[in-house]
Amino acid sequence: MKVYNTQSKRKEEFVPLVPGKVSMYVCGPTVYNFIHIGNARPMIVFDTVRRYMEHKGYEVNYVSNFTDVDDKIIAKANEEGVTAQEISERYIAECKKDMADMNVKPATTHPLATQEIDGMIEMISTLIEKGYAYNVNGTVYFRTRKFDEYGKLSHKNLEDLRSGNRSLLVTGEDQKEDPLDFVLWKPKKEGEPYWKSPWSDGRPGWHIECSVMAKKYLGEEIDIHAGGEDLIFPHHENEIAQSECCNNKIFAKYWLHNGFLNIDNRKMSKSLGNFFTVREIGEKYDLQVLRFFMLSAHYRSPLNFSAELMESSKNALERIRNAVSNLGYMTERAVDKEMTPSEQAEMANVKGFEAKFDEAMDDDFNTADAVAAVFELVKYANSSVHTDNTKVFVNAVRDEIIRLCDILGIIAEVKEELLDEEIEKLIEERQEARKAKNFARADEIRQELLEKGITLLDTREGVKWKRA
């Protein structure tokens, strides 16, 4: 399996630190509002990476945090006249609901920054003792220049950064030794939540939070650190500096970053009026459609979101689900006996699609090509599997589609509720009307069922239905 490492700028063979186990940290959202579809991309992408790792037999320790103390959370709390904790707890719950609707598996651990303050104070103290950090009037800064490898992830040159950041030498910043130094701890302001520390009553800087949570739940060295490409600099660069100076070890072996999400070829922003939350998308689409859309491109590629592309994803997902539904229908009517020799030979073709799927995913998690392999299998099922096949064979093909989709976190088999008696009677009545050539009544019933959310499908195997 090869993964693209942002740090080396090339694909590398994936070799975990501990055979058979993967330690993976993914930066989670700051919880001050409903998550937006930009937040959703890394959630879906790296959940899929985790699922594929598990499919390959790895035991994955997957940690994704919630940043539950931040300026935006405090601003929202002050606006509503409630505590920052109330805001963060509310939106953590809402975020978890959206994640479940996108079929994102809960992390092994979802640490909260506010519950790890002691570890942050400990790491900052170590950095001060080693000379990598210093205290000025209760604010603790990291000495960026003291870490010789600073810039190795983002491939930024310190001197270029220095010249580009002269504007930082303003009030409040002139206490730094160097404008590139970043905050590890800052004193509280009036009305803000705070914690006691050796330097001041205050709160941690953003970057130190992830370093501490990754260390506590995964160890000083981890296999994979991941997130959106907007986090490469300065967040992930600063994490490396803090962690490696504190622990004297390489922090993460592989750095994975997903590309940006644009809306109608423009950057998503509230000012442009093209800002969408996952909850808003969920009002228009099953969020499985959003997941399918996100996986239709390679995770490192920029992805353009539009109504047309969502409709296309909806239709594509429907094709997969219809194929699974048709195979289920055939299973009920297929011959109940052992697989024939010719069917056993056909299973080699079926397994060939799985091999294509694995080949795509082994190449830096190329979900676009993996989805294409699923569609080849769907096409095969639609053209080559019939009711005169054995039940075992039909089931095997159906299970293969469901299994490959499940690795991608795509739900291919939709469990329908039983029709109530009224609707069953209407379907029977429509069948009778058609036999009597009373097509007007048959059409009336079809429309009536549609209004009840039931779509009828007249297939060669008979009448089928699905919820609209």
| Token pair in block for residue 382 | 């639609």
Chosen domain end from 258, 291, 319: 258
Domain annotation covers residue 290: no
Token pair 């209407």 in the structure block, residue: 426
For the domain that residue 53 is a member of, what is the CATH number? 3.40.50.620
Domain holding 427, by residue range, is 421-467
pLDDT digits (tens, 9 = 90+) for 245-258: 999 999 999 999 99
pLDDT digits (tens, 9 = 90+) for 48-64: 999 999 999 999 999 99
DSSP letter assigned to residue 302: -
Q: Which of 77-81, 148-152, 237-241, 453-457 has the lowest mean pLDDT?
A: 453-457
Angle at alpha carbon of residue 382, lines to 416 and 465, rounded to 5°: 25
pLDDT of residue 465: 75
Residue 429 shares a structural domain with residue 403: no
What average pLDDT does range 361-386 have in this prediction? 97
Residue 403 shares a structural domain with residue 425: no
pLDDT of residue 169: 38
Residue 24 shares a structural domain with residue 171: yes
Domain annotation covers residue 415: no
Domain annotation covers residue 117: yes
Residue 60 shares a structural domain with residue 198: yes
Residue 212 shares a structural domain with residue 176: yes
Domain annotation covers residue 271: no
Structural domains in the chain (count):
3
Residue 114 shares a structural domain with residue 234: yes
pLDDT of residue 170: 36
Residue 352 shares a structural domain with residue 452: no
Domain annotation covers residue 18: yes
Residue 249 shares a structural domain with residue 385: no
CB atoms < 10 A from the CB of 272, how many? Answer: 11
Residue 151 shares a structural domain with residue 73: yes
d(CA 302, CA 43): 16
- Model confidence at 319, in pLDDT bands (50, 70, 90)? very high
d(CA 468, CA 455): 6
Domain annotation covers residue 266: no
d(CA 216, CA 194): 22
Long-range CB pairs of 413-421 (<8 Å, 24+ gap) are 413/321, 413/324, 413/328, 414/321, 414/325, 414/466, 416/466, 416/467, 419/454, 419/465
464 pLDDT more than 80: no
d(CA 302, CA 294): 11
Q: What SS3 class is residue 266?
A: strand
Chosen domain end from 407, 429, 445: 407
458 pLDDT more than 90: no
| Token pair in block for residue 48 | 């899929």
CA 139 distance to own-chain centroid = 35
Residue 48: closest CA among 313, 322, 321, 365:
365
pLDDT digits (tens, 9 = 90+) for 250-285: 999 999 999 999 998 888 877 787 889 999 999 999
For the domain that residue 355 is a member of, what is the CATH number? 1.20.120.640
Residue 124 shares a structural domain with residue 182: yes
Residue 188 shares a structural domain with residue 130: yes
Chosen domain end from 258, 275, 298: 258
The residue type at 79: E
Domain annotation covers residue 248: yes
Domain annotation covers residue 297: no
Q: Which of 226-235, 341-350, 458-467 has the lowest mean pLDDT?
A: 458-467
pTM attached to this predicted model: 0.88
The residue type at 110: H
pLDDT digits (tens, 9 = 90+) for 96-150: 999 999 999 999 999 999 999 999 999 999 999 999 999 999 999 999 999 999 9
Residue 253: closest CA among 240, 269, 234:
240
What average pLDDT does range 32-39 have in this prediction? 95
pLDDT digits (tens, 9 = 90+) for 411-441: 999 876 545 677 778 888 888 988 898 888 8
Residue 172 shares a structural domain with residue 32: yes
Angle at alpha carbon of residue 409, lines to 408 and 413, rounded to 5°: 110
